[in-house]
Every structure is written in C-alpha cells, then in structure tokens.
Amino acid sequence: MERAGIELLDWLQRAAALISYMLIAVELAFLPIPSEASAIALLAVLFLEIVVSLLALIWCLYPRVRGLLLPLGPSPGPPLKAASIVAILGGSLFSLAAVLQLRSSRHRERRGRPPVLYTRGLFSLSRNPIQLGMHLTWAGWVMALPSLVMLLALLFNLVHKHRRILLEESHLEQVHGQSYREYRCKVGRYL
C-alpha cells in the first residue's frame, strides 16, 4: 500500500478513536444509566480504568506516545488498522444503541409503570450489550495501538467489567426473580 493510503488509515484510526471518546462522553453526560447494583466498592477500580483508557485518547492527540507504551512490534499494517477502525466505531455505536434502547425503556417506567426487565432489541442478543460494545471498542483500541500497556489495560477492563456484571446480575435476580432466571437461560451473558 502506498504511503498516502497508510497515512489515511492512520488518520482514520485516530479519528475513530476520537469519535468513540465523544460517543462515550455523550453517553455519560446526557444518557446516564445508573447501575442496578451498588458499584461503590468498585469506584477506585473504575477511576483507574478511566485513567488507563485515556491512553488511546492521548495517542490520538500525540501519535508518538506509542513508543512509550511498550509496543508489541512494528506499527500495525493496513489490515489491522482497518479492523481497528471497524471495531472501535462498531463497538461504540453498538454500545450507544443499547444505551438508547435501555433509556427508552426506563423512560416508559417513569410514567408510572412498574420496573420491567428489558429483554428486547439488542438485549435479546446479549444480557450486556452495552458492555459488549465497550469490549469491542477496547479491542479496537488495542489493535490500533498494539502495546503491552494497552493489552494489560484491556485485560484489566475485561476483569473489572465482568466483576461489575456479576454484581448487576445478582441484583437483577433479586429484583426480578423467575423472569430474570428465564431470561438468563435464553440469552447469553455476552453473546
């Protein structure tokens, strides 16, 4: 691939990562979904996760930081760059779509309806589509910036999110009982 094509892929990678951060900011600022389970015990871990996730954002603004993150080899080739763009944007959009579906459900609840377990849309494919989308986004960041630091950050994120999902599922089973147990049998935790 000629130099101009590689530079375009580099630019698209950084643009995809920046777009993913903007979508995350929109979700957090305008579309917050409070956790069903208490996450107070996980606040320190969540703070560390946010700090570590900023590495991809720093890389978008200062591409030369890659060398400081213990790269796992030379800069990725065009196929991996293209895959990272698809994973970053696809994961971010998937997560945002799940947030919008869940918020729409919760909006109806505020109108006097009792809490209902939401199992439609993306939640019929995954019990945790928001987290699934974020996992895909993180995988895209690692593909865009393959380094030991980013790989460790991805593993840390996966463990943290899985732990949080287990807390959430325990709470949902307490609140929704049999309907949640039936949903859990039909729909996988991630896929």
pLDDT by residue (tens digit) across 128-138?
A: 999 999 999 98
Beta bridge partners of 71: 147
For 49, the domain range is 3-186
pTM of the predicted structure, to 2 decimals: 0.82
pLDDT at 44 over 80: no
Nearest 5°: the CA angle 24, 30, 32 is 75
In a domain, 115, yes or no: yes
Domains held by the chain: number: 1
Give me the pLDDT at residue 108, please: 57
Give me the pLDDT at residue 43, please: 59
pLDDT at 55 over 90: no
The per-residue pLDDT of the chain, averaged, comes to: 83
Distance CA 60, CA 13 (A): 8
Distance CA 164, CA 160 (A): 6
In a domain, 79, yes or no: yes
In a domain, 191, yes or no: no
CB-CB contact of 141 with 52 (8 Å) = no
Residue whose C-alpha is closest to residue 130's, from 98, 176, 82, 158: 98
What pLDDT, in 10s, does the model give residues 70-115? 888 888 889 999 999 999 999 999 999 999 998 887 655 555 566 7
pLDDT at 186 over 80: yes
pLDDT at 54 over 80: no
